[in-house]
Amino acid sequence: MSKNQLQQLPSVSEVLLEVNPYTNLHINYITSIIKSEISLFRGQAKAGKLKLQRNEIVIEIQDEIARLAKPSLKNIINGTGVVLHTGFGRAPISKKIISNVAKRLEGYVNLEFDLSSGKRGERQNHVSGMISGMCGTESSLMVNNNAAAVLITLNTLAEGKDVIVSRGQEVEIGGSFRIPDVIRKSQCNLVEVGTTNRTHLKDYEQAINKNTGAILWAHTSNYVVKGFTKEVPLSELSELAKKKRIPLVADLGSGALLDMEKLNLPSEEMVSSIVKSGADVITFSGDKLLGGPQSGLIVGKKRFIKAIHKNPLYRTYRCDKWTIALMEETLRTYRSDERVNADNLSMKLLSTSQNTLLKRGQKILTGIQKKKMKDLGLTVVESLVEAGSGSLPVESIPSAALKFQPKSMSVSALAKAFRTGDIPVVGYTKGNTFYIDLKAVLPNQMSKLIQVIQDI
């Protein structure tokens, strides 16, 4: 039986003859796809489970090549309600910012060239002045993510030495980023002080010795310890660090440049307030609450930032022209500690009121046929969401969602239908109900969402 089925398998060259000559893939990649697919069908044939004829197998392989010929990265509608969704690229970038950057980056750019002097320039100069000015620091440096920012900072300031950390701040965030692991990879020695819920100033004092390289204060981005707790204020740690002549490093994680409460969002410590507390070096993400591309920002005292910049590791962590240009455009969306313009999509989405979202939800319903609404059990409900990526973790943010309780299909089938359409929509399932939260749906995607619902 399996021998007869093996005879149904086409050769690689046979399939290649049937491939569309205009397929936009490298011939070697197409060949590897064909070999991989034939291998899968061979496994079925050996098990006696091959159900397709030779010509049908060729068509199946052609379909797979056509699927892989389409771009893998797609524009999606984020119906999870999580604005800073790591799986979806965290901070969304507006079309205007992308367009501005694309126009400037066509061909060659003055990434590391000073047009005034005609000499070699520094890529950091395109953003460092703005970052330092906005944060109120002497200097700044931009690298490719906050994990890199923490690692290169500790490696520069305390390689081979002790780094003191409170046990209550040994956080792990998504993607297995663990403070203890980063310290060790920085070639530093981890010295834990205090307990999970209580750490005192005397704990730090007793841990300091001749081999102490730095004190690390880490913002517990994604959790909060409540009850019988004690944490040493940064201002007190700063006084101790200055007295002992030890650099104090603060890893903020998200890093807010705006007063979140003024935007009716949960309170978050601003970068500028951490600077005022006396920390020598502060690190934070550029693609979370700041709203920019994936990056890590290092701000603080000039002598420390200069040393970090000279570290050989910097070259492995430095940002390319696209990231720098996107960050420059993002920084230009800020006007003050309380104002940012609408081109900063992260802030625009996070600060959109529940009332506005409920109105958008009702408007969506008016665009859906009544029979379709009935079949899908579609209504608009109030909801609560999180900012995402460990940002603003303590309190939920009011939102609104489309609620689906379909009559003629399962919730899992409905969710898959939304995900796999021409315009992918990713929502979430809770119990026997499917939701598309409107918090992270861009205003210009509303009409598309209506069409997707109509086509389900």
Band (442; pLDDT cuts 50, 70, 90):
very high
On whether both 319 and 179 belong to a single domain, the answer is yes
Phi, psi at 360, each rounded to 5°: -65, -40
Taking alpha carbons only, the member of 289, 255, 286 closest to residue 272 is 255
Task: Based on the fold, state whether residues 184 and 303 are members of the same structural domain.
Answer: yes
pLDDT at residue 175 in the model: 58
Q: Which domain holds residue 354?
A: 77-86+349-455
126 pLDDT more than 70: yes
Q: Are residues 310 and 252 in the same domain?
A: yes
The answer on pLDDT for 303 being more than 80 is: yes
- Quote the pLDDT of residue 23: 86
Q: Are strands 77-78 and 425-426 parallel, antiparallel or unpaired?
A: parallel
| Closest C-alpha among 409, 206, 58 to residue 417 | 409
**Span 178-218, pLDDT tens digits:** 888 889 999 999 999 988 788 899 999 999 999 999 999 98
Helix or strand (DSSP H, E) at 248: strand 248-253
Left, alpha or beta for 48 (phi > 0: left; psi -120 to 50: alpha)? Answer: left
In three-state secondary structure terms, 42 is helix
In terms of domains, do 309 and 172 share one? yes
Residue with tokens 């209506």: 450
Which amino acid is it at 369?
Q
Question: Does 62 lie in the same domain as 202?
Answer: no
Mean pLDDT of the chain: 92
Domain's final residue, options 319, 343, 367: 343
Complete DSSP assignment for 45-111 = HHTT-----HHHHHHHHHHHHHHHHS-SS---EE-SS-SSBGGGTBS---HHHHHHHHHHHSS---T
Domain stops at, among 300, 320, 343: 343
Q: Are residues 326 and 189 in the same domain?
A: yes
Q: Can you give the pLDDT at residue 1?
A: 52
Helix (H) or strand (E) holding 413, with range, is helix 411-419
Q: Among 292, 327, 343, identify where a domain stops.
A: 343
Which residues, listed in sequence order, are joined to residue 381 by a DSSP beta bridge? 401
- The string of pLDDT tens digits covering residues 321-357 is 999 999 999 999 999 988 999 999 999 999 999 999 9
Task: Indicate which CATH number applies to the domain containing 224.
Answer: 3.40.640.10
- Per-residue model confidence (pLDDT) at position 403: 97
Two structure tokens written together for 255: 């890093």
In a shared domain, residues 336 and 363: no
Dihedrals φ, ψ of 216, to 5°? -110, 125
CATH code of the domain covering residue 353: 3.90.1150.180
Check whether residue 280 and residue 411 sit in a common domain.
no
Enter the tokens of residue 35: 């070999």
Tokens of 312: 């050989």
pLDDT at 325: 98
Specify whether 173 is located in the same domain as 257.
Answer: yes
- Encoding tokens for residue 196? 């999970």
Residue 270 DSSP one-character state:
B
Residues 200 and 249 in one domain: yes
Its pTM stands at: 0.90
Question: Which of 101-105, 193-197, 204-208, 254-258 has the least mean pLDDT?
Answer: 193-197
Q: Are 324 and 223 members of one domain?
A: yes
The count of structural domains within the chain is: 3
Tokens 């420059």 belong to 328
R_g of the chain, CA atoms, integer Å: 27
421 with 311, same domain: the answer is: no
Q: Is the pLDDT of residue 437 over 90?
A: yes
